Amino acid sequence: MMVDMSTQNPRRALAHPLFWIALVGLVVNDHILKQAHMLPGVVTGKLSDFAGMLVAPVVLTALLRLRGRAGRMVACACVAAVFTAIKLSRPCADLVETVTAYTPLPWRLWCDPTDLVALSMLPLAWWLCARRNEAAVNVRLASCLRAAGLVLGVFACAASSTSDERYIGTAFLFNGTMRTQTVRLYRLQTPLDCTRPIDDPATWPGREAFALRTCSTLDPRDILGLDQGWRDLGSWAPMKDGFSAEPADAGAPGPTCEAVLLQADGLQPVVVTWNGVSPMVFTGAEFYGDTANNDHGLILEQAGQRLFIDGTSLLRVLPAGFTPAPADCPNGER
């Protein structure tokens, strides 16, 4: 009688070198590379997704001792269903965040349909769980690798990177779309006179008054500081309530009035102005779009192929009425 040897030990794949490569990559990426900002967020995000789609089915199969083809199918289907739901549905992601907020390992999730490309790793995870022959290793070593792989695998899948970023500034743009956007920010070449009206582009010299300062690639839920005094204060302990804003200490940098011009593919050039707005310290600004209850932030939104930005009570958004002068992005900018 033919026997499927892969059904005898559902933890067999935990000792495979390929599983350990993915596991180590997942841990290093989530808890070192993301925290150190050594790579763009779009890169570290995709690395976590690809590594997780190999590690999670193997760990689930071993944890629940799922056997045979049916067991592998259940593990892969469960992982794929949850991953797809949180990447396509903000309410589903919010539900998972709410549940994990009551555990020692809260999650922070981002909706991004492009992350679904990581599902291509599931056939490799299936193959690992279905292997008939284990690599030739010492029996005791294999047993230790399985035990360590299960413990570390559960931790790696459950303990995602959760630290929130802290910023100080006056105004920011939040990418509320589900796609990566490149936003070009122009500033006036001469300081504004804060005693005069600043909310009428018709009174300005024209497009030559603005100079390109940054070209920023914003992943979904990324933040772009708009004022000259904007600073990144680094990571902070995770907050269960998401976004918060507190008054900054007296003497925070930055002029009290500014005007910037924003341009992006699909976005008609707009001028953002503000006057007499006090700087704030923002924590968890990447979750701003969940509540949108603070007037220091603008949301970049999408309708079809068109992008748009609505103003707030503090930040006025006006059509520029002109296209800024062509310019290359400054060297060293994203």
Q: What is the pLDDT of residues 287-298, one digit of tens each?
A: 565 555 578 889
Kindly tell me the sign of the dihedral angle through the C-alpha atoms of 117, 266, 164, 103. negative
Summarize pLDDT for 22-55 with one digit per residue, the tens. 999 988 888 787 766 667 666 777 888 999 999 9
Those residues whose C-beta lies under 8 Å from the C-beta of residue 268, and which sit 6 or more positions away, are 319, 320
85 pLDDT higher than 60: yes
Distances (CA, A) of 295 to 41, 55, 171, 279, 314: 26, 41, 9, 12, 6
Q: Answer whether residue 255 shows pLDDT above 90.
A: no
Eight-class DSSP state of 329 = P
Q: Is the pLDDT of residue 7 over 50?
A: no
Mean model confidence pLDDT for the chain: 79
| Secondary element (H or E) of residue 151 | helix 139-158
Q: If you search the block for the tokens 């903000």, which residue do you land on?
A: 90
pLDDT at residue 113, rounded to an integer: 83
pLDDT in the model for residue 53: 93
Per-domain residue ranges for the chain? 5-158, 164-319
pTM given for the model = 0.58
Give me the pLDDT at residue 4, please: 41
H-state helical runs in 218-321: 288-291
pLDDT band at 309 (very low <50, low <70, confident <90, very high): very high
Residue 84: pLDDT band (50, 70, 90) is: very high
Question: How far is residue 265's CA from residue 17's CA, in Å, rounded to a whole number?
Answer: 44
- Who wins on pLDDT, 250 or 120? 120
Q: What is the DSSP secondary-structure string of 6-22?
A: GGT-TTGGGG-HHHHHH
**251 or 84, higher pLDDT:** 84
The pLDDT > 70 percentage for the chain reads 77
- pLDDT category of residue 251 using cuts at 50, 70 and 90: very low
Mean pLDDT of the 244-261 span: 65
Residue 257 has pLDDT above 50, yes or no: yes
Residue 76's beta-bridge partner residues?
none
Predicted confidence at residue 6, as pLDDT, reads: 42
> What integer is the mean pLDDT of 252-278?
83
Once rounded to an integer, what is the mean pLDDT over residues 79-86? 92
Q: Is the pLDDT of residue 173 over 80?
A: yes
Q: Is the pLDDT of residue 331 over 60?
A: no
Over residues 302-306, mean pLDDT: 89
**Span 61-80, average pLDDT:** 90
219 or 133, which is more confident? 219
- Residue 334 reports pLDDT greater than 60: no
Most confident of 62-76, 140-154, 252-266: 62-76
Q: Residue 275: pLDDT above 90?
A: no
Tell me: pLDDT of 237 over 60. Answer: no
Residue 240 has pLDDT above 60, yes or no: no
Residue 284 has pLDDT above 90, yes or no: no
**Tell me, what's the pLDDT at 217?**
87
236 pLDDT tier (thresholds 50, 70, 90): very low
